[in-house]
Homo-oligomer: A and B are copies of this chain.
Amino acid sequence: MKTVKIALLGIGNVGGGVYRILNEDKASIGHREGLACEIKYVLVRDVNKPRDLDFPKSLLTDDFNVILDDDEIEIVAEFMGGIHPAKEYMIECMKKGKSVVTANKEVIAKHWPDLNRAAKENGVGLFFEPSVAGGIPILKTLWTSMQGNDIESIYGIINGTTNYILSRMTDEGLTYEAALNDAKKLGYAEPDPTNDVEGYDATYKLSILASLAFHAKVPVEKIYVEGISGISPIDIDYAKELGYVIKLLAIGKKNGETIEVRVHPTMIKKTHPLASVNGAYNAVFIKGSAVGGLMLYGQGAGRMPTASAAVSDIISATNPANFKYTTFENTYETPKCLNFKNDWECGYYIRVSVHDRPGVLASLAAVFGQHMVSIQSVIQTGQREDQVPLRIVTHLAKEQSVKQTIEAIKALDGVIQVDSLIRVEDDI
């Protein structure tokens, strides 16, 4: 049996899960994989800090160089998070011939080209399945199960916090604030939830997914992002009436050399498999030229699911045949695919508060027409009051035309305000 010595950088949530699996499943991994994975070091900042995990303290070190200089260490698994010094540590390890496994989405999204280059130049492996969608093996599927496909589009529910909040709002009619508070209590949301609820976390993951799927570096900054903090229970109810649910979708599409990448609340048909992805679950739906629609669903976060992905990566990293490098241009500055679209097409749901008097709808409709935005349906309910909500759903329309339409509507006599704009994806 082959023995592989491993160092963990960090032993927090995910690192602790990896430690647990490699120890508890030692026998079965040995039997099935012919492999003994031995953790030799665990790098921590403070070796004396109390830890809830039961493991030999002798593994702990606060000196990164001990790991770096130990030629027995073949694989380093990074669970520190953050950019520095995680990035530098990983590159130094690779220069010493060690393969790297990481759960660090931010460092991959922002510094993948550097890391990929270090891996390639030193002939080692760089694995990061746990960085996207926790336990869901979506990156391995893209690398090793879709080679005969051009990927046309990706639709991901890849942030558990926002999906939990939207699910609670949808199922129980909670307000955004109430659902967010519950998410905080349950540990699904950070005390400062901005990174999740405003969609930034999803942009890191979409950057990784889209780069891998489209074979072109998709920088995080090219991704349009809009969070869920503006979603109101009213719109969730109206969505239901229209046969939709609202999800924070991370969307990537490629058409020739043009890529569109965006993260925003999206109405999708309630019969689509993505619509039944609820709570803290994640899912990624991919359309490939040969395979058609393929969806992977599972736990997108959490100690053991993420550790499950990390352990598979560690096992992959023991075999050089599994080392894969990106083929796209390895710089941010000159991505192979230069054309990032900001004038994509989708459907739009627009809610406008108007005075209920003759002529308002006509003037509104005229503005849509002037901007070449075709209306699919208009619903006006509510009694004869001074202020009524108008819900408009458009056919496929261009983002910039819709934005201009909104500006023009705001200036109309009889329009009180534009309350919401939510994009609609009918053709997933």
**Chain A interface residues (CB < 8 Å from chain B):** 17, 21-22, 25, 28-29, 31-33, 129, 135-137, 140-141, 144-150, 215, 271-273, 275-278, 281, 283, 288-299, 302, 304-305, 307-309, 311-312, 315-316, 319-322, 327
Cβ–Cβ < 8 Å partners of A322 in chain B? 321
Q: How far apart are the CA atoms of A25 and B315 in the complex, in Å? A: 30
Question: A21, B304: Cβ atoms under 8 Å?
Answer: no
CB distance from A216 to the nearest CB of B (A): 12
Whether A136 touches B294, Cβ cut-off 8 Å, given contacts A31-B327, A148-B21, A272-B276, is yes
Whether A312 touches B147, Cβ cut-off 8 Å, given contacts A32-B327, A291-B299, is yes
Question: A144, B312: Cβ atoms under 8 Å?
Answer: yes
Question: A288, B308: Cβ atoms under 8 Å?
Answer: yes
Question: B147, A29: Cβ atoms under 8 Å?
Answer: yes
Cβ–Cβ < 8 Å partners of A307 in chain B? 148, 290
Whether A316 touches B144, Cβ cut-off 8 Å, given contacts A278-B271, A293-B299, A305-B291, is yes
The residue in chain B whose Cβ has the minimal distance to the Cβ of A18 is B148
Q: By DSSP majority rule, is chain A's interface helix, strand, loop, or mixed?
A: mixed
CB distance from A353 to the nearest CB of B (A): 34
Can you give 17 contacting A-B residue pairs, CB < 8 Å? A21-B290, A28-B150, A29-B148, A129-B145, A136-B294, A147-B311, A147-B312, A148-B312, A149-B308, A271-B276, A273-B273, A273-B276, A290-B311, A291-B298, A291-B305, A291-B309, A292-B302
Cβ–Cβ < 8 Å partners of A281 in chain B? 293
Whether A291 touches B144, Cβ cut-off 8 Å, given contacts A276-B276, A297-B273, A321-B321, is no
Question: B292, A305: Cβ atoms under 8 Å?
Answer: yes
How many chain copies does the complex carry? 2
Question: B272, A25: Cβ atoms under 8 Å?
Answer: no
Cβ–Cβ < 8 Å partners of A29 in chain B? 147-148
Cβ–Cβ < 8 Å partners of A291 in chain B? 135, 298-299, 304-305, 308-309
Q: How far apart are the CA atoms of A276 and B32 in the complex, in Å? A: 34
Cβ–Cβ < 8 Å partners of A145 in chain B? 129, 137, 140, 309, 312
Whether A148 touches B25, Cβ cut-off 8 Å, given contacts A137-B141, A297-B297, A299-B292, is yes
The residue in chain B whose Cβ has the minimal distance to the Cβ of A145 is B137
The residue in chain B whose Cβ has the minimal distance to the Cβ of A294 is B298
The residue in chain B whose Cβ has the minimal distance to the Cβ of A305 is B291
Cβ–Cβ < 8 Å partners of A21 in chain B? 148, 290
Cβ–Cβ < 8 Å partners of A327 in chain B? 31-32
Whether A315 touches B17, Cβ cut-off 8 Å, given contacts A290-B305, A291-B305, is no
What 7 pairs between A and B have smallest CB-CB spacing? A321-B321, A148-B311, A137-B145, A290-B308, A135-B291, A291-B308, A294-B298
Question: B295, A297: Cβ atoms under 8 Å?
Answer: yes
The residue in chain B whose Cβ has the minimal distance to the Cβ of A302 is B292
Neighbour of A298 across the interface among B148, B289, B295, B319, CB < 8 A: B295
Question: B33, A147: Cβ atoms under 8 Å?
Answer: yes
Residue from A281, A290, A302, A327 whose CB has the most chain B CB atoms within 10 Å: A290
Q: How far apart are the CA atoms of A26 and B296 in the complex, in Å? A: 27
Cβ–Cβ < 8 Å partners of A312 in chain B? 144-148
The residue in chain B whose Cβ has the minimal distance to the Cβ of A319 is B321
Cβ–Cβ < 8 Å partners of A136 in chain B? 294
Q: How far apart are the CA atoms of A135 and B319 in the complex, in Å? A: 26
The residue in chain B whose Cβ has the minimal distance to the Cβ of A292 is B299
Q: How far apart are the CA atoms of A296 and B21 in the complex, in Å? A: 23
Cβ–Cβ < 8 Å partners of A278 in chain B? 271
Cβ–Cβ < 8 Å partners of A321 in chain B? 319-322
The residue in chain B whose Cβ has the minimal distance to the Cβ of A21 is B148
Whether A308 touches B32, Cβ cut-off 8 Å, given contacts A135-B294, A291-B298, A299-B293, is no
CB distance from A385 to the nearest CB of B (A): 36
Question: B290, A298: Cβ atoms under 8 Å?
Answer: no
The residue in chain B whose Cβ has the minimal distance to the Cβ of A273 is B276
Question: B304, A292: Cβ atoms under 8 Å?
Answer: yes
